[in-house]
Structure 1
Amino acid sequence: MLERIFNAINRRSRAKLANIPGPTPRFPLGTAGAFFGRQPWELCADYGEKFGGVTLIWLFNTPALVLNDPVLIREVLDTRAGEFYKDEPVGALKPVITPGSLFITNFGRGWEQARRDNPFSTAPLDGWLTRQTEPLRTVIAEKMKSWIIRSTTGRIDLYWEMQRLMFDVFAQAFWGRTFPPDRFDWFQTLARTGTRRMNPPKPFLPPLSPFFYSARRKWYGSFEQIVAETRRNPNPASPDMLNASLAHGTPLSDSALTEALATNFFGGVFSCAGTVNTALYLLAQHPEEAAKVASAVRNDLPADFDRFALDGCRPLEFAIREAMRYYPAVPIYFRKSSPDREVRLGSHTLPPNTQIFISNWYLHKNSPHWHEPDRYDPSRWDNGFAEANPYGSDHFFPFGRGPRACIGAAFGKFIHRLFLTVIFRATDPVVDTTRPYKQSFFFGTMMPKGLTARFLPRS
């Protein structure tokens, strides 16, 4: 009965998309109920198994597509990106991130210009990254000392503690300093608000909490003050991105530069923390692989290693790549087809504004491309396989792909390598693997919750 009611209401729309397979929709939810209680990227992967590269789903009475076909995903995110735009999570994050942010600005509304003007594009990235090794290494090493002491009486909650440490590292990299706890509290208030707004049911009203508006005012206001002060007295010798941008020359105003640097926290703290925690967990599950990483960073890297030495440490790189393949921190992306015309995609004609779900969850474990895809095996990346499957390729895109891929990807890769190197050089990490790997959704990323560890001094 409910199926017949749905078909009667949506007869014309269904007829236009009748050649696309998918689950049976029913009144009133369509197929949206399948997302309740499931992580959306896992459901998208299930649809790839059941229905192939393109699946038709219904969000109430609105048709949408789930793409698991690498060729079509390449078109949407890369080669024909101009015919598709970013709708989610734009509306949810507008109160949290300023409207001109690169993360939520759309085509025709200046995202190309925002990307060109972003400090990651205008500052000399290679030189800036090279100068980050020592100051960021110091921040992480100091925290390791604290974690070693605390590990004598208990376990470290990796979910919270890694976020806090990652925040400090990003602060040092972008602003040349770490901040007192209140700055992190403002950041978390904004992030929690954005996360709630991204989860269904989507809110129609702006945030109502006065604490949110207070945190937002303090977060951006305090950074704008730092930008103004640094603009008056820049330090070209300082390695942070703010001074590097001003020394090289930036087209951004103080407020725009503030927004760009402040937004970088949202774009990377959670995904980088999730990736490092995931790598630690998977290495703890595979002691033989952890031993390879520990030996490489302790014995093969010089004591005063630099960024280029990190880049060349193959066991370290392979362990991180495999963690990002196995449990990518950003497992789902959204696009909509052109708002004012039909768009042809493969053999299908999409109505204007068709919502498209894209997940790397299915393709990252797609057999036969990956041998034994459900096995954590860093060695699979050796013998030219890494070069044949670069970041942003058909079956491996943890940072997204195409012109809207993560603008801070190079920094993220550097951070992952640096964290694991400092951790394994200073400690013997013991992650509790008796607890299951529990995925959670936080600010557009997959964050493992419930992981704890002890950090023992090197034996």
Structure 2
Amino acid sequence: MLARLHRTINDHKHARLKHIPGPTPRFPFGTAPAFFGRWPWELCAEYGHRYGGITLVWLFNKPAVVLNDPHLIGEVLDTRAAEFYKGAPVDALKPVITRPSLFITNFGRGWEEARRDNPLSTIPLDEWLSRQVEPLRAVVAETVGRWAGRSHEPVDLYWDVQRLVFDVFARAFWGRVFPPNRFHWFRTLARTGTGRMALPKQVFPLHPFFHSARENWYGTFTRAVAEARANPDPAAPDLLNCVLARGTSLSDAALAEALATNFFGGVFSCSSTVNTTLYLLAKHAEEGAKVARAVRDELPDGFDRAALDAVRPLEFAIRESMRYYPAVPIYFRNTARGREVKLGSHVLPPDTLIFISNWYLHKFAPHWAEPERFAPERWDNGGAEANPYGSGHFFPFGRGPRACVGAAFGQFVHRLVLATIYRESEPDVDVSRPYQQSFFFAVMMPKGMRARFRPRAPVTAS
């Protein structure tokens, strides 16, 4: 009865989309209740198994589609990206992230300028990353040393690794580690954005301290840019001084906002990947021992970026973690507001919401051998070359022109943080707890993880 009523009310829409398979919608919610109490990326993967590469769902009386076909996803995110726009979670994040941000700005002159002028787009990236090894390793080693100094107490990986990665970003971007209040401001803004993404923004009010946190967060960095302009240090390795040394058309406020916003794009996803990798390597003790041995035997004291990149067991373990539990598991796009868009053999109405998840394709059995098995060796012997970042079945940083602008830096952070952890300590992650997912600022964050870090003497490679 309710299914018939939904079809009657939306007869014209049903007729236009009848060739797209999907679950039966019922009045008044459509198929929206299927998302209640489920992680949307897991439901999207389930639809891939049940209905194939494209699934029709109904959010009340509005049709939407779930894509699990790598070719259709490639069109939306890459080859025809300009024909689609980013609607979610733009509105939810507008109070948190400034409008010129790459994360919420849509294609057009504003987006092109934001991408071109982003600090990570304007510097010789390889040279800059090579200069980050020493200062960032010192930040990580100091924190891990504190953890190891109280090895009898478990570390809450959820928040403590976020704070560690925050400090790494601060040192890389600004050349300093900030006092705790900066992290608290950052966390307040992120919590507000998370709540507004999870619930209608009218339902989730701004945090009581949101406005002061936002003013302090962006104001701190505007003053830092002004100070650096007044007293530049071209030899300093941090991103701010590197950008100023090369010259930038951005104002102090715009440059501060671009650097500050990059924290939102990277701190949570990097900490998620670090924690997931630690958990999976502890869960699979043989793989964990292999990575620990490689890091300790192959990296000399004072190692450089080339040596870090050459530790293949570490790199393969990180890739496999991102395949198995990607930190950013879902993306959203909309068809053009003013016209129909053809996608594959289907014609979608204007402003149709599109769900895109890598959760299904990262474990697609015809592509991956034993996809449910954590197997870092799959990336050896040409596996990494056959499945580069941003390809059809492996896109933890997204695909196409809107793929993460900080992907190279993120990969570097994963390697450096994990290598330093294994060199400075014996991590003991409590794997008796199940891997629990949560959602934080558009990132899948594992929660409830505890670990002890036992001290160990540094090992020098022969």
TM-score interval, normalised by the smaller of the two chains: over 0.9
For residue 207 of structure 1, report the CA deviation from its aligned partner. Answer: 4.1
For residue 451 of structure 1, report the CA deviation from its aligned partner. Answer: 0.5
Aligned to 2:460: none
What is the CA deviation profile of residues 206-226 of structure 1, one whole-angstrom value per residue up to 9, with x for unaligned ones?
844441001001100111011
1-structure distance, mates of 2:246, 2:308 = 26
Q: 1:68 to 1:262 in 2, by over 3 A?
A: same
2:63 pairs with 1:79 = no
RMSD, aligned α-carbons: 1.1
Aligned partner letter, 1:436: P
Q: 1:204 to 1:417 in 2, by over 3 A?
A: same
What is the CA deviation profile of residues 23-61 of structure 1, one whole-angstrom value per residue up to 9, with x for unaligned ones?
110111111111110000000000000000000001111
1:366 to 364, 367, 370: 364
Secondary structure of the structure 1 residue equivalent to 2:209 = helix
For residue 339 of structure 1, report the CA deviation from its aligned partner. Answer: 1.4
Aligned to 1:256: 254
1-structure distance, mates of 2:50, 2:350 = 26
The answer to whether the Cα contact below 8 Å between 2:225 and 2:240 also exists between their aligned partners in 1 is: yes
Aligned partner letter, 1:187: F
The answer to whether the Cα contact below 8 Å between 2:425 and 2:455 also exists between their aligned partners in 1 is: yes
Pairwise mapping of residues 46-195 of structure 1 onto structure 2 (< 5 A)? 46-108=46-108, 110-152=110-152, 154-195=153-194
For residue 438 of structure 1, report the CA deviation from its aligned partner. Answer: 0.3
What is the CA deviation profile of residues 210-249 of structure 1, one whole-angstrom value per residue up to 9, with x for unaligned ones?
4100100110011101111111111111110000000011
Aligned partner letter, 2:316: F
For residue 109 of structure 1, report the CA deviation from its aligned partner. Answer: 5.6
2-structure distance, mates of 1:393, 1:125 = 22
What is the CA deviation profile of residues 183-224 of structure 1, one whole-angstrom value per residue up to 9, with x for unaligned ones?
110000000000000013x12388444410010011001110
Aligned to 1:403: 401
2-structure distance, mates of 1:292, 1:208 = 46
The answer to whether the Cα contact below 8 Å between 1:95 and 1:207 also exists between their aligned partners in 2 is: no
Unpaired runs of 5+ in structure 2? 458-462
Aligned to 2:316: 318
For residue 437 of structure 1, report the CA deviation from its aligned partner. Answer: 0.3
The answer to whether the Cα contact below 8 Å between 1:150 and 1:156 also exists between their aligned partners in 2 is: no
User: What number of residue pairs does the alignment pair up?
Assistant: 457
Aligned partner letter, 2:14: R
Secondary structure of the structure 2 residue equivalent to 1:430 = strand
The answer to whether the Cα contact below 8 Å between 2:23 and 2:57 also exists between their aligned partners in 1 is: yes
Secondary structure of the structure 2 residue equivalent to 1:96 = coil
For residue 304 of structure 1, report the CA deviation from its aligned partner. Answer: 1.6
1-structure distance, mates of 2:162, 2:207 = 24
For residue 403 of structure 1, report the CA deviation from its aligned partner. Answer: 0.1
TM-score of the aligned structures, taking structure 1 as reference length:
0.98
Mean Cα deviation higher: 80-89 or 107-116: 107-116
2-structure distance, mates of 1:292, 1:365 = 24
What is the CA deviation profile of residues 313-361 of structure 1, one whole-angstrom value per residue up to 9, with x for unaligned ones?
1101000000000000000000011111111100000111110000000
1-structure distance, mates of 2:120, 2:203 = 33
Aligned partner letter, 1:170: F
2-structure distance, mates of 1:208, 1:269 = 22
For residue 110 of structure 1, report the CA deviation from its aligned partner. Answer: 1.1
1-structure distance, mates of 2:389, 2:308 = 17
Aligned partner letter, 1:393: S
2:38 pairs with 1:23 = no
1-structure distance, mates of 2:441, 2:229 = 31
Q: 1:317 to 1:231 in 2, by over 3 A?
A: same
What is the CA deviation profile of residues 360-416 of structure 1, one whole-angstrom value per residue up to 9, with x for unaligned ones?
000000002111000000001111011010000000000001000000000000000
2-structure distance, mates of 1:28, 1:233 = 62
2-structure distance, mates of 1:337, 1:308 = 43
The answer to whether the Cα contact below 8 Å between 2:188 and 2:207 also exists between their aligned partners in 1 is: no
Aligned partner letter, 1:49: H
2-structure distance, mates of 1:206, 1:45 = 28
1-structure distance, mates of 2:353, 2:308 = 40
What is the CA deviation profile of residues 97-138 of structure 1, one whole-angstrom value per residue up to 9, with x for unaligned ones?
111111100113611110011001112211111100000000
Secondary structure of the structure 2 residue equivalent to 1:161 = helix
Aligned partner letter, 1:212: F
1-structure distance, mates of 2:244, 2:204 = 35
Mean Cα deviation higher: 205-214 or 389-398: 205-214
Q: 1:11 to 1:370 in 2, by over 3 A?
A: same
For residue 70 of structure 1, report the CA deviation from its aligned partner. Answer: 0.3
Secondary structure of the structure 2 residue equivalent to 1:110 = helix
Secondary structure of the structure 1 residue equivalent to 2:56 = strand
Q: 1:234 to 1:382 in 2, by over 3 A?
A: same
